[in-house]
Copies of this chain bind each other. A is one copy, B any other.
Amino acid sequence: MEFLYTYETLKLEFPLAEPEEARYVILGVPFDGTTSYKAGARFGPTLIRQATLNLESYVLDYDLDIAELPIADIGDIAVVAGDPRKTADRVRETIEELKRVNPNAIPILLGGEHSQTLGAVEALRPKSYVVFDAHLDLRDSYEDNPYNHACVARRIAELGVREAMFGIRSGTREEVEFAEKGGIRWVHARDYDFDSFVELVEPLPEPVYLSVDIDVFDLAIVPTTGTPEAGGLGFWEVIEAIEWLVENKRIAGFDIMEVAGETLGNPTALTAAKLLFYFIGAMEKMGKL
C-alpha cells in the first residue's frame, strides 16, 4: 500500500506485515522545526528503529515475541520544513488513509516533536488524552506559533478531548490556570505514584490516546531530548501505568515523541525502543484490543 506523504526509511528488522493487515502500524515523524532548546528530534524515528536492534523481540515480562505479531512500518512523513501545522496535517491524512483500509489498526507515532501528536489525535478522535510529559504543553502560543510543541495539549483540549497528565515538572502560570479552568488534571513528578495515575485515568471516557513525551523520564535516562528536565520518572513507573491503562481502557493510538540526538544507541533512543516493545507487548497480553 502506498501513502501520499510517507517515504521508506530504516525499518524494524523482523518480518513486517502490510498496513492493511497489521494490528500496529508504525509511522515516523522526523520533524523538529519548532523545538525550543535542543534540536535534533528529526533523527528520532531513525534512532528509535535502529535502537530496536539492541533488544530481544521477546518480552520476558509477557512471554511474548513481538516479531511474531502483525506489525507494519509505513516509513516516515515527508515534513513541511518548519511548519508544524502543515506537517501535522500530513500525519492526520496519513492516519486517515490507514484507517480507511484498516479501521482496527493502532497507529504508533515515533517522533519528532510533540506538536505532531495533534495530527494523530485529529485523525483518531479519541475521547481522552493521557500523556506522560515533563511539560504541560498548554500554552496558547509559543514563539508566535500556536502549533508549537509547547501548545499541543491545548490544541487537543480545544477539540473537546479530556486530558490527564503525569510527570509534569514545568509550566507557566497561564498553563496552570488554563488546566484548572478546563478541568485538566495533572500530577507533578514529585507527587507521582501508581495510585495517582489510576485515580485520574479511571474516570476518563474511552477510547484513549496515549502519548509519551520522552522527557517525562529523568534527564539521566533521556539526556538527548528537546527540553530535558531533572527529577523525572523512572522506566518501570511508566511501564506499570501503561499496563494498567491498556488493561482497563480501549486505546485509540500511541506515540513516543521528542526522541532526539545524533548518536546511534543513545540512552534516549534505547529507552524509547524498549518502551515501544513494552507497549505492543502489553497491548497483546492484557490490552482491550
Q: Which of B60, B234, B263 is A264 in contact with, Cβ under 8 Å? A: B263
Specify which chain B residues have a CB less than 8 angstroms from the CB of A80 in the assembled complex: 143-145
Q: Is the CB–CB distance between B54 and A228 below 8 Å? A: yes
Smallest CB–CB gap between A274 and chain B, Å?
A: 5
Contact bitstring A43-85, B, C-beta under 8 A = 1, else 0: 1001100100111101011010100000000000011111110
Cβ of A196 within 8 Å of any chain B Cβ, yes or no, is: no
Q: How far is the CB of A90 from chain B (nearest CB, A)?
A: 10
Whether B43 and A40, one on each chain, are in contact in the complex, defined by CB atoms closer than 8 angstroms, is no
* Closest Cβ neighbor of A54 among chain B residues: B37
Q: Which residues of B contact A35 (CB under 8 A)?
A: 39
Tell me if A148 is interfacial: C-beta within 8 Å of chain B: yes
Given A9-B13, A38-B265, residue A271 in contact with residue B230 (CB < 8 A): yes
The residues of B that contact A236 with a CB separation of less than 8 Å are 190, 231
Does A111 count as interface, using CB distance less than 8 angstroms? Answer: no
- Closest B residue to A150 by beta carbon equals B81
Grouping DSSP codes into helix (H, G, I), strand (E, B) and loop, the A interface class, with mixed when no group exceeds half, is loop
Of A173, A239, A266, A267, most B-chain CB atoms within 10 Å: A267
Among A201-253, those with CB < 8 Å from B are 218-221, 223, 227-231, 234-236, 239
Contact between B176 and A61 (Cβ–Cβ < 8 Å)? no
Task: Report A's interface with B, CB cutoff 8 A.
Answer: 7-11, 13, 32-43, 46-47, 50, 53-56, 58, 60-61, 63, 65, 78-84, 86, 142-145, 148, 168-173, 176, 188, 190, 218-221, 223, 227-231, 234-236, 239, 262-267, 270-271, 274-275
The 10 closest A-B pairs by CB, nearest first: A39-B39, A81-B143, A10-B10, A33-B82, A82-B82, A220-B220, A34-B81, A231-B235, A34-B82, A33-B33
